[in-house]
């Protein structure tokens, strides 16, 4: 039976086949409510004989940054047009916010406009490039992401494209940046029983299949991990029935250069119960994203391959679960890392640094010019910085400058943290072993003592540890990301690698 309904126009029959449009307007540089259309918006306004500006004027006061208005039936090809406020066009890099304000305004505005049109069940949206097609694309792709794979009722799937004659290459680059972060969000958001260590490894392998001509993937088994004498990694994994996997990615984007300039390491705890030092149940479900370091690192390498960046990157992701069982680490146990150092495990919930210790030791076998590791490592980092920025601990001023420069472009900021000997003494003053996996003063400076612990397994002159625990989730802090796992700082890692691909690394 056909449902009885009344259509108000013939066009309504083809609603889902028609397109939506997002256009941007800038605030006036003067203290008034006047608006300045972007180039694309001005073009549409001309086609409509000035109807767009007329409606904007009579529909309320000036359109402020991040606000939007929806107009219906104005354009033959677009049943819905969302006009979004971009703020002032004159804004650039802000010395106090450490980002490009104009780029951030574009990302937020475009994301908001695309979401409004998605709620109108439109399946295709054209987007104003707003004089910065890459930022507009990032806003559109990131703003439309949702994880509803396991729901019966799903959000409308929306495709986007650049409207008008903007920079197509910038748009395509922004789409890849956004899709890279969305892959990390997808992996972090998925339940732990759906993304086990082996499933994680298979997912990354499948995503890299189109780039098989210049990417090699190794899925190392538990037997290989044992052969490498990664005692710290194995001690964490033995509490779970899921076998560990050591994922190794080789992206060869510069075949004429045998030297590996960049090595990325990501913590891959696919679920962290705390082990015997069991976490409180409230919020423990978020620990499905404790593999956020591995997710961002692997997603960044996939994005680098899609962009065909002229750089060689090796990615390492030790993957396992941290579970309580009769075989799990017990407080006071001593384990031996790959480099022969012994570690007293006083807190089994400080497991991420154990698996990273062995991965960092293995990383040095490739003689890299620079090592960057990412990990949702400490709650102390969330306390220190919240979700504003990723904490960076590094022994290299040069490496810090490159990471900071990249984060200003992406708006996904980083902040340098101290790597003092003050903290090293707190992890080396140990009763039973060479190191303790927690600082002697417990929670005081917890993020700093964790970084000091990792430094004991690093000899490379250019190393950075990114503690991403604070930026792991998003509530309402980043307007172009919905509530949930954030996938940060994937875009910053990609922009960092892209920057290195066009300059020589120091020896």
- Phi, psi of 446, deg, nearest 5: -60, -40
Q: Taking the model in full, what pTM does it have? A: 0.94
Residue 16: is its pLDDT beyond 50?
no
86: three-class secondary structure by DSSP: coil
**What is the band of 435 on the pLDDT scale with cuts at 50, 70, 90?**
very high
> pLDDT-based confidence at 504, cuts 50/70/90?
low
Q: What's the pLDDT tens digit per position in 280-307?
A: 999 999 999 999 999 999 999 999 999 9
Please give the pLDDT value at position 51: 94
Predicted confidence at residue 31, as pLDDT, reads 65
User: What is the average per-residue pLDDT within 372-384?
Assistant: 97
Q: How many residues belong to the chain?
A: 507
pLDDT at residue number 443? 79
At residue 453's C-alpha, the angle toward residues 449 and 456, to 5°, is 140
What's the pLDDT at 9?
36
Residue 240 scores a pLDDT above 90: yes
pLDDT tens per residue across span 313-340: 999 999 999 999 999 999 999 999 999 9
Q: Which of 226, 230, 329, 326 shows the shortest CA–CA distance to 272?
A: 329
In the set 279, 341, 405, 440, the catalytic residue is 279
pLDDT of residue 258 exceeding 80, the answer is: no
Nearest CA-CA partner of 117 in 12, 10, 16: 16
Per the omega criterion (within 30 degrees of 0), is the bond before 489 cis?
Answer: yes
pLDDT at residue 50 is higher than 60? yes
What pLDDT is stored for residue 503 in this prediction? Answer: 63
Cα 266 from Cα 278, distance rounded (Å): 23
Catalytic: 353?
yes
The pLDDT score that the predictor gives to residue 437 is 96
The pLDDT score that the predictor gives to residue 91 is: 84
pLDDT band at 166 (very low <50, low <70, confident <90, very high): confident
pLDDT of residue 6: 32
Is the model more confident about 210 or about 30?
A: 210
The pLDDT value recorded for residue 162 is: 97
Other CB atoms within a 10 A radius of the CB of residue 506 amount to 11
- pLDDT at position 33, please? 63
Task: At 61, give phi and psi (nearest 5°).
Answer: -65, 175
Q: For helices 490-500 and 292-307, give the axis angle rounded to 10 degrees.
A: 40
What whole-number distance in Å separates Cα of residue 374 and Cα of residue 267?
A: 7
Task: Find all residues with CB under 8 Å of 290, minimum gap 6, and list them.
Answer: 267, 269, 270, 271, 272, 322, 352, 376
pLDDT for residue 392? 98
Which of these ranges, 1-15, 154-168, 268-282, 477-491, has the smallest mean pLDDT? 1-15
CA 266-272-275 angle, 5° bins = 125
pLDDT for 11 beyond 60: no
Contact 291, 319 (CB under 8 A): yes
Mean pLDDT for 104-133 is: 95
267, 294, 273: which is closest to 352 by C-alpha? 267
Mean pLDDT of 359-375: 97
> What average pLDDT is seen over the chain?
92
Q: What is the pLDDT of residue 4?
A: 37
Phi first, then psi: what are they for 244, rounded to 5°?
-75, 155
What's the mean pLDDT in 353-370? 97
Share of the chain above pLDDT 90, in %: 84
Catalytic residue among 173, 353, 369, 413: 353
Spatial separation of the C-alpha atoms in residues 412 and 83, rounded to whole Å: 25
Residue 232 in contact with residue 335, Cβ under 8 Å? yes
Distance (Å, whole) CA 406 – CA 133 = 18
Residues 206-235 have a mean pLDDT of 97
Supply the pLDDT for residue 7: 31
215 and 252 Cβ atoms separated by less than 8 Å = yes
For residue 301, what pLDDT is reported?
A: 98
Residue 505's pLDDT is 59
Q: Quick one: pLDDT at residue 2? A: 37
The SS3 assignment for 243 reads coil
> What per-residue confidence (pLDDT) applies to 229?
98
Among 265, 478, 438, smallest CA distance to 356 is for 265
CA pair distance 295, 289, nearest whole angstrom = 9
475 exposure class (CB count in 10 Å sphere: 0-12, 13-18, 19+):
exposed
Looking at 144-216, list the stretches that DSSP marks H as alpha helix, in order from N- to C-terminal side.
168-189, 197-208
Whether 346 and 333 have beta carbons less than 8 Å apart is answered as no
Residues 6+ apart with CB under 8 A from 20: 78, 79, 80, 81, 82, 117, 120, 122, 124, 125, 126
- 13: pLDDT strictly greater than 50: no
pLDDT of 378 over the 50 cut: yes
Q: What number is the average pLDDT over the span 385-399?
A: 97
Q: Considering the chain, what percentage of its residues have pLDDT values greater than 70? A: 94
């Amino acid at each position: 039976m056909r449902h009885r309904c009344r259509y108000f126009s013939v066009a309504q029959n083809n609603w889902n086949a028609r397109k939506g449009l997002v256009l941007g307007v800038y605030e006036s540089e003067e203290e008034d409510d006047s608006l300045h259309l972007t180039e694309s918006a001005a073009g549409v306004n001309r086609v409509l004989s000035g109807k767009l500006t007329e409606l904007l004027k009579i529909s309320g006061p000036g359109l402020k940054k991040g606000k939007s208005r929806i107009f219906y039936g104005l354009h033959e090809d677009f049943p819905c047009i969302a006009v979004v406020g971009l703020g002032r066009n004159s804004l650039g890099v802000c010395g106090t916010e450490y980002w490009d304000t104009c780029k951030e305004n574009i990302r937020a505005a475009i994301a908001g406009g695309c979401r409004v049109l998605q709620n109108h069940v439109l399946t295709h949206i054209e987007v104003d490039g707003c004089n910065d097609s890459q930022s507009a694309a990032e806003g559109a792709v990131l703003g439309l992401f949702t994880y509803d794979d396991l729901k019966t009722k799903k959000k409308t799937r929306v495709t986007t494209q650049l409207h008008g004659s903007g920079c197509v290459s910038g748009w395509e680059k922004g789409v890849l940046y956004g899709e890279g972060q969305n892959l990390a969000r997808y992996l972090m958001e998925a339940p732990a029983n759906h993304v086990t260590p082996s499933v994680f490894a298979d997912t990354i392998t499948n995503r890299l299949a189109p780039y098989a001509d210049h990417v090699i993937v190794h899925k190392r088994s538990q037997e290989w991990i044992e052969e490498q004498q990664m005692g710290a990694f194995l001690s964490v994994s033995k509490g779970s029935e899921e076998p560990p996997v050591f994922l190794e990615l080789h992206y060869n984007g510069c075949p004429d250069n045998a030297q590996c300039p960049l090595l990325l390491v990501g913590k891959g705890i696919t679920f962290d119960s705390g082990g015997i030092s069991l976490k409180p149940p409230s919020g423990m479900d978020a620990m499905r994203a404790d593999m956020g370091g591995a997710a961002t690192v692997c997603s960044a390498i996939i994005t680098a391959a899609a962009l065909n960046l002229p750089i060689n990157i090796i990615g390492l992701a030790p993957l396992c679960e941290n579970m309580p069982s009769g075989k799990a680490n017990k407080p006071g146990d001593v384990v031996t890392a790959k480099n022969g150092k012994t570690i007293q495990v006083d807190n089994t919930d400080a497991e991420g640094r154990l698996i990273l210790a062995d991965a960092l030791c293995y990383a040095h076998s490739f003689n890299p010019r620079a090592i960057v590791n990412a990990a949702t490592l400490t709650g102390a980092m969330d306390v220190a910085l919240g979700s504003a920025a990723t904490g960076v601990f590094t022994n290299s001023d040069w490496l810090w400058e490159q990471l900071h420069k990249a984060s200003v472009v992406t708006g996904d900021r980083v902040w340098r943290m101290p790597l003092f000997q003050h903290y090293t003494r707190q992890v080396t003053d140990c009763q039973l072993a060479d190191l303790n996996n927690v600082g002697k003063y417990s929670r005081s400076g917890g993020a700093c003592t964790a970084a000091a612990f990792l430094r004991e397994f690093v000899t490379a002159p250019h190393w950075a540890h990114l503690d991403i625990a604070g930026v792991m989730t998003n509530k309402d802090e980043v307007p172009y990301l919905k509530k949930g796992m954030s996938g940060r700082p994937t875009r910053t890692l990609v922009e960092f690698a892209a920057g290195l691909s066009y300059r020589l690394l120091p020896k």
